[in-house]
Chains A and B, each alone.
Chain A
Amino acid sequence: MHTPSGGSVGKSLPRVDGVAKVTGAAHYLDDLVVPRLRHGVTVRSTVAHGTFDGLDLDPAFDWSQITVVTADHLGWGQGLAAGGLGQNHIAMLDTDQPALVPVGGRIKHVDEPLALIAAPTRALALAARAHARPRQTAQPAVLAIDDALRAEVKLYGDDNVFKQFLIRKGHATDDELEAAMAGADRVLEGTYHTGAQEQMYIEPQAMMATLDGGIMRIAGSMQCPYYVHKAMKVLLGCDAEQVVVTQTVTGGGFGGKEEYPSMLAAHCALLAQASGAPVKMVYDRDADIAATTKRHPSRVHHRLGLRADGTIAAIDVDVIFDGGAYLTLSPVVLSRGVLHAAGPYRCDVVRVRGRAVATNHPPHGAFRGFGAPQTTFAYERQLAKAARVLGVAPWDHRDRLALRPGDTTATGQVLERSVGTDDVLRAIREAAGPPPTRDGTNRHGAPVRRGRGHAFYFHGAGFTGSGEQRLAGRATVVARPDGTFEVLASSTDMGQGAITIFTQLAAEALGVPPEQVRVPDPATDHVPDSGPTVASRTCMVVGGLVDRAARTLRLRVEAWADAAGIKGDLATRAAAMIAAMIERGGGDLVGGGVAETVQYEPPPGIHWDDATYTGQAYPCYGWAGCLVDVEVDLDTREVSLLRCVHAVDVGRAINPVIVRGQIEGGTVQALGWAVLESVVYRDGKVANASMTNCIVPTFADVPDLETIIVECPYPYGPSGAKGVGEIPMDGPAAAVANALEDALGVPFDRLPILPEDIARALRPGGGAGGAGGGAA
């Protein structure tokens, strides 16, 4: 019996896309040059709420080479085949967001697209835009969560609520919840605020559209080719075959290229149709920051009912996200937020309420962590306050309360396997070392105060509930007659290493060296829909499909070869076997190769009820612990992050260097969210829309990172792998806030925590915002 192993899994294979990116050989969208190309720019609103009254074009300007598109006078409803279009909205979860606000229509946020301009050069397009003036009438805008809830100005339905959820565990009515809370010996209550966060991918949003023989070809920087494909079918009013969406080399996404590329593709397509030429649109950085989706600002109210012995009697959480002007993905982000809101802790009575509300901010959307970082911040601040009140050491406290196999989550999911609690806590306690000396002086002679903070958290891997079953993602592995293999999946590599992981998984399953495996750029006309590249699902779910397709393919080829009298295995005889198989018609042929396509099958025993929000919210969870040491300069209130230890259970590290990169990158993004990153909205407009002023960490801001990979294998993931992309984003911010409270003795319940906020909190009569609960 042959043991299948290509020896690829668990090794740090160099990134297969690495050399091309480092040498500059990789072509990003903006590097692509095609004949007759036109450059598109966007005319945007300047009011947060109002009406679009029309577009004035300066008659003194020479418009002869310029294409101008507004939503009017387009052939909506006629369909692409008839030279028209489909419907003026971006198809995602709802139909409320137009591609362009029609004249006479309602403007719902600043920097909303009103018109499009294309010209033979970008400079000319920009010059034309300077001579195009949209007329707008402003109305009172909704720019705060409470104003949205008052619903005096209605933006969505009658109540401005995009979506709400209610989770109940261990009680049936609010009275029962209150009774359980009343039975607690102490209730800690806190309100936690987090701000918007910009993804700041290195490559801005970029897209190109070409109408070619009745087929709209879209190419660009994106995470989810089939999301764009779906949106284009609706916008253009055409069949699936009339749109081809190809991902080009993508310089970062972090969720920011999950939904917005559909908008940009729509704009390129409208201009391509109107101008009869290929159209490219590449946002400059300022427009990208101002107009595209960011992390949802949040307000979370958290009540923690504690018994005298330190255990939790009841948890009650009220989550509100500012969804911005359109629904986009807010319901799904909120879902993940509420499903994580009770934290990875044992408690028999839990209520979680969640609402995503409409405001006149540009839509907030997907960003690594997808709602969980906001609620994690709240519960880990609460846990830290509880430990302080109870006088228990932070890790002891969490160790005692944390979920283990056999325990149930807030949705009643019984945890059975791959629960990393003990391994994570053991690893991080071993690495912790002594806390930093409390007082000292820095190189400027300024007094400093130091502190340590902790956080423990979990993150569901893959889609929520029955999402994977509904999606039924597919992946294909093709064996070619030259003995090489292709992995066909719609998952995109945006720098996170997806195609390297797929290469390793396929090589391992096929028993061939990774050099024999290729992962072509995804295009909707030649890869199956494996689902979007989101939700920490690429390795676990799609990687699982790749693994299964490759194993099945190998068995089929080897069995056929055996019957045909060809000796050996794929590792040594791939070319001979496959060539013979093709020649003698031995298998399904796709593109001149033998193909095996598999579809997602849920692990046994998965049950989820969308109506009651009970059951197995996720097939499995990642688990993580984070420890942060901080130093505050008491002259300037500046925070130095000294050290961050992060232990993350990923199931199995298919490629340890890539996994480490994911953890370190997510950690830095979370630390930035904690103490540096602030999106400043003024009258609904991003006031700091530039890299100069929208601050993200540089390497000089990064502390000593100690990354510990913990492996509690998930039996239904490829080689035991589960998610890693998002969990590092969830907890470090809470650890930082906890460390700052440890250092300074005042609570910090609002993110980001800037030096200005620390100064305010330390002033006589100051306060860091939010209720301090019983922590004082």
Chain B
Amino acid sequence: MTGYLRPTSLADAVAARAAHPDWLVLAGGTDLMVNAPHRPVPAGIVDLWGCAELRGIARDGETLRLGAGTTWLDVVQSALVAAHAPILGAAAREIGAPQIQARGTIGGNVATSSPVGDSLPVLLALDATLGLASPRGRRVVPYRDFATGYRTTSLDADELIAAVVVPVPDAATRLSWRKVGTRAAQSISKVMAAAAIHVEDGVIAWARFGLGAVAARPIRAAAAEAAAAGRPADEATARAVADALAGEIRPITDVRSAADYRLEVAQALLVRFVLNAGRS
């Protein structure tokens, strides 16, 4: 018989998780329910949907704090997100369809850690951090180090994701986001890219590129970032970024797309981001 717990506070949720480290943690269920017929029945389920304190978006100093249970609909409707992290709102708007957006959560997306998780490149580009909770206490980890491999993370067996914290970018940081999917809505991504590009006097001080669906996990494109840093936001730099990217990702061919296409489009997206940053 499958066990089921529905804690209503983070403290209870942490206790439930610690007591049953082998149970499935369910947030919105938009990934887990789709895959349920294809995996073994779990020993039990810890359902976080009832934890109101996990849900909500707040400004906290120079950061935005999103509770792990915050839904994509919450993100889409948030004025704070629209003002300070518009690419997160843009990504949320392209997740599934409104029904999915009303159930799917940011914490669920981070924990599932699919290479095609729609918000993950954005969190990389925004240099988000994660607030994790366990009976041992709380810790804060950079999101960049969280996804360790194909659908694996550094989350400990007794830990829950409590919050996603996004630093508020300054006015000189240009944000870009684009999802290339199998169709215009309700689609799994073929390629995703997000960028935060800091431009001063036409020169890129630094750039962060987050990519999805081009590797086993969502990744930062470090070589491409290095190729952009300190260079003018122009065609030559964009070309150098594209070349550097070709050296650091090796996308695959699967039922959804082809390796050569994924590389070509990932390059084209970063080129466009650099050029758009130079123009704005």
Contact = CB atoms under 8 A, between A and B. Distances in A.
A693 interface: yes
Contact of B255 (A676, A693, A697): A693
Contacts of A638: 180
Contact of A636 (B180, B183, B255): B180
Contact of A445 (B183, B185, B190, B275): B275
B255 A680 contact: yes
B37 interface: yes
Contact of B184 (A636, A687, A698): A698
Contacts of A444: 178, 272
Interface stretch (B123-131, B141-149, B256-264): B256-264
Which of A636, A637, A699, A701 has the most B CB atoms < 10 Å from its CB? A636
Given A693-B255, A756-B257, A700 B265 contact: no
Given A445-B272, A636-B269, A687-B255, A759 B183 contact: no
B269 A635 contact: yes
A699 B183 CA distance: 10
B183 A701 contact: yes
A299 to B, nearest CB: 22
A692 interface: yes
B224 to A, nearest CB: 16
Nearest to A758: B261
Nearest to A755: B261
Contact of B182 (A284, A635, A636, A695): A695
Contacts of A589: none
B276 A701 contact: no
A635 B268 contact: yes
Interface SS of B by simple majority: mixed
Contact of A693 (B256, B264, B275, B276): B256
Interface in B233-277: 255-258, 260-261, 264-265, 268-269, 271-272, 275-276
Interface in A14-39: none
19 contacts: A445-B275, A446-B272, A635-B272, A676-B182, A680-B255, A687-B255, A692-B34, A692-B188, A693-B182, A693-B256, A695-B182, A698-B183, A700-B183, A700-B184, A700-B185, A755-B261, A756-B257, A756-B261, A759-B261
Which of B180, B188, B261, B271 has the most A CB atoms < 10 Å from its CB? B261
Contacts of A760: 260-261
Given A693-B256, A759-B260, A284 B186 contact: no
A635 B34 contact: no
A694 to B, nearest CB: 9
Contacts of B185: 698-701
Contacts of A445: 272, 275-276, 279
* Closest 9 pairs (CB-CB, A-B): A700-B184, A700-B185, A635-B268, A688-B255, A756-B261, A701-B184, A756-B258, A695-B182, A698-B185
A147 B183 CA distance: 33
Nearest to B177: A444
Contact of B264 (A680, A700, A759): A759
Nearest to B191: A636
Interface of B: 34, 37, 97, 178, 180, 182-188, 190-191, 255-258, 260-261, 264-265, 268-269, 271-272, 275-276, 279
Interface residues of A, number: 24
A701 B181 CA distance: 12
A554 to B, nearest CB: 50
A688 B253 CA distance: 13
Interface string A696-738: 0111110000000000000000000000000000000000000
B85 to A, nearest CB: 18
Contacts of B97: 698
Which of B182, B258, B260 has the most A CB atoms < 10 Å from its CB? B182
Contacts of A693: 182, 188, 255-256
A684 to B, nearest CB: 15
Contacts of B268: 446, 635-636
A461 to B, nearest CB: 32
Interface in A409-448: 444-446
Nearest to B253: A756
A444 B271 CA distance: 12
B152 to A, nearest CB: 21
Interface string A746-763: 000000000110011000
A191 B68 CA distance: 54
A695 B187 CA distance: 8
Contacts of B257: 756
B41 to A, nearest CB: 9
Interface string A514-539: 00000000000000000000000000
Nearest to B267: A635
B175 to A, nearest CB: 13
B115 to A, nearest CB: 14
Nearest to B38: A286
B113 to A, nearest CB: 18
Contacts of B180: 636, 638, 755
A757 to B, nearest CB: 9
